[in-house]
Amino acid sequence: MLSEKRDKASATDFHIKAIGSNDMPEKVTTDTSRSNVAALNLINSQLMKLFLFGCVFMNIHVRQIKYLNNIVEQDHRGIKKITKPMMGFKAFHSAEATLSGIELCRILKKGQHIKSENSHALEQFYALAA
């Protein structure tokens, strides 16, 4: 998910969307941005309010340890390798479209698509277009 700003509101939206499409995480490893920590602290405070009303206690442990985040950053290396010679983007929508296309190609190449059993990347791409 690409956003124009890296603030608390966009980080909160991102984490709520991630939690909604996956299970509740026990630990989250982030980079050193303060917006992610603030967003996760806000989510933790909401979870604490739910606990006070009788729900099961849940708390997300936030880790900002550099070497633990290297695995995630290395996945972005391929994108950085492609976008660095482009010398930036003039408009946000063109950056979003280009990066989503690059991500789609990388996902198909890795075979991470849902319907990827025994099919080539080109077949998966045509299946998405249909």
pLDDT (tens digit per residue) in 47-61: 888 887 877 778 898
Q: What percent of the chain has pLDDT above 70?
A: 77
Note whether 54 and 109 are same-domain residues: no
Highest mean pLDDT range out of 17-21, 39-43, 110-114? 39-43
Note whether 52 and 103 are same-domain residues: no
Which domain, by its residues, includes 13? 1-64
Note whether 1 and 40 are same-domain residues: yes
Note whether 58 and 18 are same-domain residues: yes
Residues 6+ apart with CB under 8 A from 64: 29, 30, 31, 32, 37
Note whether 59 and 81 are same-domain residues: no
